[in-house]
Amino acid sequence: MTASSPRSLFLSHGSPLSCFEETPARDFLLSLGKSLPRPKAVLAVSAHWTTRAPAVGAAAAPETIYDFYGFPDFLYKMTYPAPGDTALAGKAAELMVADIDPERGLDHGIWTVMSLLWPQADIPVVPIAVQPRQDPRHHYRLGQCLKSLLDEGAMILATGCATHNLRAYMSGAGRSGPQDWVTDFTGWLAEKAAEGDVEALLDYRAQAPHAKENHPTDEHLLPFFTALGASSDNKATRLHASVEYGVIAMDNYAFA
């Protein structure tokens, strides 16, 4: 598998400013967008849309959602006017036995990364929710349900963060640079993903080093498991690895 031919991606999105600040992660996404094949549509699994039951957004023209506060004014004027795809949303909902939200827009986990990959905003986007009360296996099965849509030319873009401990970030725990407890975890994740060790990955909270420190709650890693479930061989390749503020890992993965 190469970066130019994935069926699905897991991309760490960082803060809403991540699409403007010059960082290794942003530079990587800009270059990745130039190498990716153009999908017919994107099924965007976002850590920032959480529901009790599986849900799919079916808006014909999804609004840009500003699900954050305290950022510069220009961010609240940012738009990503990609079209939706109501027919694809209906198919996805049927396959996953999911609810349909006819008005759901695109949260910052989606539009920050898509604005770097496809700035023209001309590829249809169907948002898909995660269920924090459910485990990784539940989200893996959702990905399995979506495989047939990838065969028809859609791509899964799962957006979250390889590590997501905001308390550690706010405390300045990473002032001295990338922390060992972060790189130990991301190294383990990359190794198990390359091996296709699905059972270890699904049990990451028990098996991965420092799992609870890196993910006090699951939601920012749950999209990874949906991308994994939709893969053809249960393997993933880490395309990029970097750490911001010493504790926020911005790793990105491709799944064949």
Top-level CATH class of 8-255?
alpha beta
Taking the C-alpha atoms of residue 159 and residue 47, their distance in angstroms, rounded to an integer, is 6
Classify burial at 189, counting beta carbons within 10 Å of its beta carbon; exposed 0-12, middle 13-18, buried 19 or more.
buried
Q: The tokens of 40 are what?
A: 């017919």
Sequence-separated (6 or more) residues with CB below 8 Å from residue 69: none
Least confident of 2-6, 112-116, 240-244: 2-6
pLDDT tens-place string over residues 116-156: 999 999 999 999 999 999 999 999 999 999 999 999 999 99
Percentage of the chain lying above the pLDDT 90 cut: 95
- Mean predicted lDDT score pLDDT of the chain: 96
Can you tell me whether residue 79 is helix, strand or coil? coil
Q: What is the mean pLDDT of residues 210-219?
A: 98
How far is CA 191 from each of CA 125, 171, 208, rounded to the nearest angstrom? 31, 29, 11
Candidates 108, 97, 9, 117; CA nearest to 56 is: 97
pLDDT tens-place string over residues 26-63: 999 999 999 999 999 999 999 999 999 999 999 999 99
DSSP secondary structure of 123-180: S-EEEEEE-TTS-HHHHHHHHHHTHHHHHTTEEEEEEE-S---HHHHHHTTTTTSS-H
pLDDT(2) > 90:
no
Taking the C-alpha atoms of residue 205 and residue 197, their distance in angstroms, rounded to an integer, is 14
pLDDT tens-place string over residues 146-161: 999 999 999 999 999 9
pLDDT(197) > 60:
yes
pLDDT(111) > 60:
yes
A 10 A CB-CB count for 191 gives: 12
